[in-house]
Amino acid sequence: MASSAFTSPNITVIWTAFRDEPPVSSNAKLILTMDGLVLQTEESKHKLIANTTSDEPASFASILDSGNFVLCNDRFDFIWESFNFPTHTIVGGQSLVNGSKLFSSASETNSSTGRFCLEQRDGILVLYPVRDSRQIYWVSKLYWASDRVHGMVNLTPGGILQAGSADATQILARSSYSVKSSNETVIYRATLDFDGILRLYSHHFTSDSNYRADIEWYVLQNQCLVKGFCGFNSFCSNPTNSSTKGECFCFRGFNFINPEMKFLGCYRNFTDEEGCKRKMPAEFYKITSLEISQLGGMAYAKLSVNEKDCSKSCLNDCYCGAAIYANASCSKHKLPLIFAMKYQNVPATLFIKWSSGQANLSTNLSALPIVSKKHGDNKKKLVSVLAACLGSITFLCFLIAISSLLAYKQRVNQYQKLRINSSLGPSQEFIIQSFSTGELERATNGFEEELGRGCFGAVYKGSICEGNKIVAVKRLENPVEEGERKFQAEMAAVRRTHHKNLVRLLGFCMQTSKKLLVYEFMSKGSLENLLSNVESGPIWRDRVRIALDVARGITYLHEECEVQIIHCNINPRNILLDDSLTAKISNFSLAKILMPNQTGIVTGVKGTRGYMSPEWQNSGLITVKSDVYSFGVVVLEIVCCRSNFEVNVSTADVVLLSTWVYNCFIAKELSKLVGEDEEVDLRTLETMVRVGLLCIQDEPNLRPSMKNVILMLEGTMEIPVVPFPILSNFSSNSQTLSSAFTNTD
């Protein structure tokens, strides 16, 4: 089903339902029901196209002159309209609210979802490839308004594309045409075309059935300026210098995935495996140079060498797929190569590595040489050696299994003894005690010594068991409803946990509106205070151990507890330390308990700024990967003994910790992150940095699980290659902070 503007000779589609599904037959029917509009196909399948969101049933459906397809109740009120669910086009009178998106079509003849997206963000339009929202290639003009966050972008019936709010309006595009004849009708539309370019069109209809369509405005003139117009491992170029049409070409050593659809990109026609096994990869590879204007993505290494050494460095590096040389700097890139463009100005040279022919993927298997007898004898010897090794490994595994079984039985016996010894009542170590208000007032001497304060309330030092046990009493001081909610959340989460890296809950009090929780006392205070102490900060060995302690505590919450718990507020202030600097996680007031069938929760509650994952900030979605993100920020703070955001620094690029760490990581200058006089194991330093950068990836699926984080920190699991830095953490924030930093000076 689609709404369209009838033109001659073609039909211009402006809205589509089920655009990614195959077309239905001509025998399909549209049925208006009380619940909405239903599509009935020949296979008797019913698909709900438009459902009513109100309690009132739909009385009729109509397509308005504006092109808006609506469902109405018996009072002619709109209860559903297609204008609220745009696909790739908006027409005159239609608006895009904050967060709305348009998706291009797959091609000029295929209206399914394509490769590019237009998004309205706070009254600003941004364009980016669907596969990577970080790679923005066009942004509309910025307008300033006090309520810009509630701004709208709309196309007026007169052909004006504008962004506006209550107190400001910014014209983005305006039609140059004015209607001069009463017998002519002009309809305007703004469409994100298949090539990723937003264009403003005017359609002219006259009473004598004449018709024409004009392009009034476009965001980009050259298709090659669209990031992702050509796919992986290809580059975009214009057939002639004056042409605005882009054409995709494969780099040498690559073939088109689909020659009929060149924009899909290219694949390598040889394998790296054989070349990288050799001591001299140069015997297997060759280098071809190409003049190029730009190459997207982040280089994994940058060298200050001449052009010849740049080519040689890539040739002998198995990780290098290409190197770009410009301004006496050599940047090496891994595959796939993205957003490459060859334009009129040629400021750089690109070195492409390709096979000299020994391991082409198209090699005919029948042409491979027969293995000689000598090789056969060697193979027999190899099999014998492997058999002996496998036998030894099997025997070793058997011994480990027996040892584990014996250890398990011993632990079972210990638990049985514990139950026998506890026959008169629960063990004091595992019980949560209920206190009265008076008892806790006496325990804290009238809440005299305050240990710390936060948005939840305050923590006081006290003693119980006739003064023999020091405790920390947490008093929630929020408004009644919010305080009750946080109290219940913290009780629900903490009472189910018992782990050496979690602060243990000893008791509670529910007699007053200000709820009280009693925790074990942590003598060394918070990790935040420890890291900020310039004179007596933790030594490197202790910092590594603290990071592992925190990781083990989070892993317990995610995978080992009787219920899965998301802490939602991992930050240095909520990590406490005892006499031996053992780190323990505290403050479960924001914690969420997942049901067995849940993987995440959508919430309007916000955590601590700087430690919240992007998906939590943008959509309110919380998963275990939200805690992983927070842990990544904490790890980088532990490494550098500083907070995530600091203004009182010498240069702007050091303000945001993640940006500084990544820059030092790329430049192989990790020693800058730690003190000059400090004894630091550089291998462990690199491990900590790589794990931290992996944990703060923008995409949740790229973040490791906390269980794997522990394995990587302990050195028993290989650390994946750190992906390109996320835009929100490394690019846009850095630019904004840089500007703010400059203005401050």
Give the tokens for residue 441.
Answer: 């007032």
Top-confidence residue, 535 or 357 = 535
Q: Say if residues 34 and 57 touch (Cβ distance below 8 Å).
A: yes
Q: Round the average pLDDT of the chain to a whole number and report it.
A: 79
Q: Which residue type does 502 have?
A: L
Q: For residues 172 and 154, what is the distance between their CA atoms, to the nearest angstrom?
A: 10
Q: What is the mean pLDDT of residues 67-76?
A: 85
Q: For residues 320 and 226, what is the distance between their CA atoms, to the nearest angstrom?
A: 25
The top-scoring range by mean pLDDT among 440-454, 631-645, 654-668 is 631-645
Q: pTM for this one?
A: 0.50
Top-confidence residue, 685 or 514 = 685
CATH of domain 528-744: 1.10.510.10
What pLDDT shows up at residue 740? 37
What pLDDT shows up at residue 247? 92
Q: For residues 350 and 340, what is the distance between their CA atoms, to the nearest angstrom?
A: 10
Give the tokens for residue 390.
Answer: 């496998």
Mutual orientation of helices 682-695 and 657-666 as an angle, nearest 10°?
Answer: 130
3-state SS, residue 405: helix
Total Cβ atoms within 10 A of residue 181 = 9
What pLDDT shows up at residue 541? 92
What pLDDT shows up at residue 233? 92
CA angle 188, 191, 192 (to 5 degrees): 165
Q: For residues 224 and 173, what is the distance between their CA atoms, to the nearest angstrom?
A: 22
pLDDT digits (tens, 9 = 90+) for 377-426: 555 566 666 777 777 777 777 777 777 666 655 554 444 433 333 332 33
Q: Which residue type does 60 have?
A: F
Q: Name beta bridge partners: 297.
A: none
| Residues near 156 by beta carbon (within 8 Å), at least 6 away in sequence | 92, 93, 162
3-state SS, residue 341: strand
* Confidence category of residue 484, pLDDT binned at 50, 70, 90: low
**Alpha-carbon separation of residue 729 from 139, 302, 613, 685, 733 (angstroms):** 19, 21, 10, 21, 6
On the question of a common fold for 431-520 and 528-744, the answer reads: no
Total Cβ atoms within 10 A of residue 363 = 12
**Alpha-carbon separation of residue 592 from 41, 554, 556 (angstroms):** 43, 13, 14
Q: Name beta bridge partners: 163.
A: 153, 170
Share of the chain above pLDDT 70, in %: 77
Residue 80 pLDDT > 70, yes or no? yes
Q: For residues 533 and 524, what is the distance between their CA atoms, to the nearest angstrom?
A: 12
What pLDDT shows up at residue 618? 84
pLDDT digits (tens, 9 = 90+) for 690-712: 999 999 998 898 999 999 999 99
Residue 133 pLDDT > 60, yes or no? yes
pLDDT digits (tens, 9 = 90+) for 258-273: 898 898 899 887 765 5
Total Cβ atoms within 10 A of residue 432 = 15
Half-sphere exposure of 599 toward its Cβ, with a 13 Å CA cutoff? 3
Q: Is 308 annotated as a binding residue?
A: no
Half-sphere exposure of 382 toward its Cβ, with a 13 Å CA cutoff? 6
* CATH for 431-520 (3.30.200.20, 3.10.180.10, 3.40.50.720, 3.60.10.10): 3.30.200.20
What pLDDT shows up at residue 29? 84
What pLDDT shows up at residue 347? 73
* Confidence category of residue 89, pLDDT binned at 50, 70, 90: very high
Maximum CA extent, the chain: 101
Lowest-confidence segment of 193-202, 323-332, 489-498, 681-690 by average pLDDT:
489-498
pLDDT digits (tens, 9 = 90+) for 348-384: 899 998 876 544 433 332 333 333 334 445 555 666 6
What pLDDT shows up at residue 461? 92
Q: Name beta bridge partners: 70.
A: 62, 81
Lowest-confidence segment of 40-44, 258-262, 437-441, 574-578 by average pLDDT:
40-44
Give the tokens for residue 178.
Answer: 């004015």
Which residue ranges make up each domain of the chain?
97-220, 229-360, 431-520, 528-744
Residue 614 pLDDT > 80, yes or no? yes
Q: Say if residues 125 and 118 touch (Cβ distance below 8 Å).
A: yes
Give the tokens for residue 717.
Answer: 């699991």
3-state SS, residue 613: coil
Phi and psi at 80, nearest 5°, equal -160, 140
pLDDT digits (tens, 9 = 90+) for 138-195: 988 765 554 454 568 889 888 889 887 656 677 888 887 766 666 788 899 999 999 9
The answer to whether the Cα torsion of 411, 417, 420, 426 is positive or negative is negative
* Confidence category of residue 279, pLDDT binned at 50, 70, 90: low
What pLDDT shows up at residue 416? 43
Residue 731 pLDDT > 70, yes or no? no
What pLDDT shows up at residue 540? 92
User: DSSP states of 643-680 as a string?
Assistant: -SB-SSSSSGGGSBHHHHHHHHHHTT-GGGGS-TT---
Phi and psi at 227, nearest 5°, equal -65, 125
Top-confidence residue, 327 or 549 = 549
* Confidence category of residue 210, pLDDT binned at 50, 70, 90: confident
Q: Say if residues 531 and 637 touch (Cβ distance below 8 Å).
A: yes
Q: 118: burial class by Cβ within 10 Å (0-12, 13-18, 19+)?
A: buried
Q: For residues 237 and 344, what is the distance between their CA atoms, to the nearest angstrom?
A: 9
Identify how many contiguous H helices and E strands the chain contains and give both numbers.
Answer: 14, 43
* Confidence category of residue 567, pLDDT binned at 50, 70, 90: very high
Can the peptide bond before residue 336 be classed as cis, meaning omega within 30 degrees of 0? yes
Q: What is the mean pLDDT of residues 88-102?
A: 91
Give the tokens for residue 295.
Answer: 């190459």
Q: Name beta bridge partners: 601.
A: 622
Q: For residues 390 and 349, what is the distance between their CA atoms, to the nearest angstrom?
A: 51
What pLDDT shows up at residue 725? 52
What pLDDT shows up at residue 737? 39
Q: For residues 167 and 432, what is the distance between their CA atoms, to the nearest angstrom?
A: 56
User: DSSP states of 257-296 as a string?
Assistant: S-TTSGGG-EEESB-SHHHHHSS-GGGTEEEEEEEESB--
pLDDT digits (tens, 9 = 90+) for 282-335: 667 889 898 888 888 888 888 999 999 999 999 888 888 999 998 889 999 988
What pLDDT shows up at residue 7? 46
Q: Name beta bridge partners: 592.
A: 566
Top-confidence residue, 419 or 105 = 105
Q: Say if residues 555 and 710 touch (Cβ distance below 8 Å).
A: yes
Looking at residue 538, the DSSP 8-state letter turns out to be P
